[in-house]
Structure 1
């Protein structure tokens, strides 16, 4: 049973609040309406939700909340990139700052290194850490465990950072804030190394990284400026749109000739971009698929983000895309879709170029087959 990455929107109880959702799986699964899981986040009138300070800041009476308690109270993160993929800078506010060692195990497991090995475990107890520091005096008094604990997770009211998910890699970049609020003062910088949707609290985005100034931290409610790595975002957007163009080209050229054809899932990572399909696609289709990809790109088709209810899918003859079982889905919710006008429509929460020509030259690399399925790999030049 295949899963569909569903992106849903709904009006919240306040007069202007709306809900949108995204699924944070590393591989985007598409088109099968059988089983869907949704994750919600909130926005208000195209601006980040105004959080209540009392919910996240300690009062004068009770003791200050722990990092875990503060994190639990944090509201959903507004996904600004859902509405403007070219918003490369954003001023927002800090909701929570959590040392990596204090993250829940499920969230620590979200952040992995190159070969899939988990990031280092939390530092040892204080006594063991002290002994290790003494044993490593020749390292300048800072042992490996101390360096591991330099990592934190920052949660903000809104984000322009796309979390890894839907087949798209995580954005990277920085968050900066003045140390005292004065323009002439030095900036406090947090390097964002990886971004994920929270595995424990629905709708929250976790920005993982390190503060450049050792021993510093961002107080809750501090205004920060987020800035993403623009060349990487542009590449990821090109690859994501190109993946949909490829899926549309395969459907247009050979779907009717392939028994049991369906689109399954896709990866839009630079070194592993590919779309997977049910059914066996012979290698002889490669040339025809490439011609159709070229045709779509040369036509410079518009790529438009839209929000559809079930009636819209039926009206367009796309009932096959209507999800049947969205966990927690409420009446009136809509699916976020990416419409490559004149080609195909995909339920999608990723970032995209404005038109197919923005993908640049897109090459079909290889068609492979295994266990009744086919994988078509591609790259952008």
Structure 2
């Protein structure tokens, strides 16, 4: 069975997950793998952009690099990036055949969509010097945590996925940071509880904690931020770049030129995809605050939708001062919030709301939300 057909048999969401299943499967695969050094990214926001910047820096320095991220926007291949490009279909099909031969059909069929694609990525990354591995929504019990890593990067942590991770910043931080092993690079955090949690867990594990500024120094950090601003990136992407540069230096013990940022493309991260459209996949309150700040006085039309587990009221409260109105774009998901509920939440906040009816040249737009929202918007462009 081809990869796409096999993945179609697996649901994307699970109410409960057997936490022993992935370690058992990985134990079957591990003896066959020839992995380079693994960097593990955990956090609520910034994993994708930090990971892509890091992978790009390492690639430009001459290393063979694999970057695993999720979810994808339009094509599954986006999840598995190798040496500067999304993996080709042929490579993924070959990795799928190899992985099936290692696991056997019974074990492969038991694995969740994310568990199987995690092992698929590791199989496809054969021969890479470095593997940049992004956790899903968790940390300690995430499918990606089965792999030993030389460095963990902790990106900003906020409230999200409470049903799986906990109801407080401390609980969520504990779940994510308990995944660290030898060293952890902790990016700037909006909540001080994250630092305290990291210190406590690192002490218990005998792990070393690092900060981006501690690795790079103040002058280099400033230079990276200035370069990011000069190419049109908002501050939050600049901070993610600082963390990526620090990780690259820690891994390779060499310096990287901030001007390298100009050649790095970040899909869906405050990305100007049209002259009057910015797309950002930050789908939680932490992401909303970063985007609100990045708009820097602009007041676009918000194109938005969400899954029912998202705190849409808080997100709309954050964005209300910086948007002109809300246009709700339909999304294809059983877990999508009822559009009437979203419109009612907007009305209570004094936000004019209605359906998305396409783009108008005289308006500026912010498309904000999950990868599902980004996919729906991009598909709508091709349909017009």
Provide TM-score, normalisation by structure 2.
0.25
Q: Which has the higher contact order (CA 8 A, sep 6+)?
A: 1
Larger Rg, first or second structure (1 or 2): 1
Provide TM-score, normalisation by structure 1.
0.25
